[in-house]
Structure 1
Amino acid sequence: MRKVVLYIAMSLDGYIAEEDGSVAFLDEVASDSQQEDYNTFYDTIDTVIMGNSTYTQIINELSPNEWFYKGKECYVYSKTTSGVNENVKYTNLEPKKLIEQIRVEKNGKDIWIIGGS
């Protein structure tokens, strides 16, 4: 069965972003071995689930010119469709129901939950 995983960078004091939501500090602390670990992990997933705030940050700040999760199925939690991207499926399903739906639709690799609350 496809596992649901949370793979996240977090400071020792439990934060995943600066007070303003920035994750720029990740570039300062990333090492080659951490990048290798991330690449290994990334190969184990084929689906990503994120909230609208994370999606907005990705398309506006982190990777505005190219969809970062190209080739992965992507679900974004949103009350409205706040952007257009052929790689994104907007949803407001209860997380448990969404995951059950994804698992029923097809066999595949693991499912990654990205971002914060």
Structure 2
Amino acid sequence: MKPQLLYYVAASLDGYIARPDGAVDWLESIEASGEDHGYEGFYQSIDGLLMGRATYDMLRGFGIDWPYPGKPCLVLARNPLEQPPADVQGRHCTPSEALDELATRGCKRVWLVGGGSLAGNCLAAGLLDELIVSVIPHLLGAGIQLFATGLEHRLSLQAHRVFPSGVTQLHYQVLAEDA
């Protein structure tokens, strides 16, 4: 059985997850607030990660320790990863094949990390189960969209939270195409 796939992401009020060059410096003021915004609870609820190569390379470019230790991570990559951290594997496959592999490793809840392109592909393939968006009170005006596809899809609001920082977190269930 395929694991649940959850897209947990921060987005500007106008729907961008990064600047056009991929920079996420606009999130620094929210991070500096010291609020957890539910991250730790979410991280404890997942047991695997799926990410695209661009997100992986960006994270490695920060020059910090791997931020997701102890959980298997599959990076969708055409070319081999150079010296990946423990528990990280690059693989040239479809998102569906990656989820199958994570299932064989015992994963039941997988975090789709980063990338509007990968998120759009997973949505189009019917793989995305939940969407948890932390809407940041910031307008970017341009950048990398939350979903890099023009697909229309229905969602069902499961929960919402408002934090003192001004962040509003929206938790949606992705409805089946025939719902």
TM-score normalised according to structure 2 size: 0.58
Determine if contact 1:49/1:74 at 8 Å carries over to the other structure. yes
Given the alignment of the two structures, is residue 26 of structure 1 paired with residue 27 of structure 2, yes or no? yes
Corresponding residue of 1:87: 87
Corresponding residue of 2:10: 9
The letter of the residue matching 1:74 is C
Q: Distance in 1 between matches of 2:64 and 2:30?
A: 24
SS in 2 for 1:10: strand
5+ long unaligned stretches in structure 2: 118-179
Q: Distance in 1 between matches of 2:45 and 2:28?
A: 23
Structure 1 residue 28, shift from structure 2 partner: 1.1
Determine if contact 1:45/1:112 at 8 Å carries over to the other structure. yes
Determine if contact 1:49/1:75 at 8 Å carries over to the other structure. yes
Given the alignment of the two structures, is residue 100 of structure 1 paired with residue 88 of structure 2, yes or no? no
Corresponding residue of 1:43: 44
Q: Distance in 1 between matches of 2:81 and 2:10?
A: 26
Determine if contact 2:81/2:90 at 8 Å carries over to the other structure. no
Percentage of matched positions with identical amino acids? 33
Determine if contact 1:44/1:109 at 8 Å carries over to the other structure. no
Higher helix fraction: Structure 1 or Structure 2?
Answer: 1
The letter of the residue matching 2:93 is L
SS in 2 for 1:84: coil
The letter of the residue matching 2:77 is S
Larger relative contact order (CA 8 Å, sep ≥ 6):
1
Determine if contact 2:50/2:98 at 8 Å carries over to the other structure. no
Corresponding residue of 2:114: 115
RMSD: 1.7
Determine if contact 1:46/1:108 at 8 Å carries over to the other structure. yes
Q: Distance in 1 between matches of 2:49 and 2:100?
A: 14
| Largest Rg, 1 or 2 | 2
SS in 2 for 1:7: strand
**Ranges of 4+ aligned residues in structure 1 off by more than 2 Å:** 29-33, 106-109
Structure 1 residue 70, shift from structure 2 partner: 0.8
Q: Distance in 2 between matches of 1:99 and 1:25?
A: 31
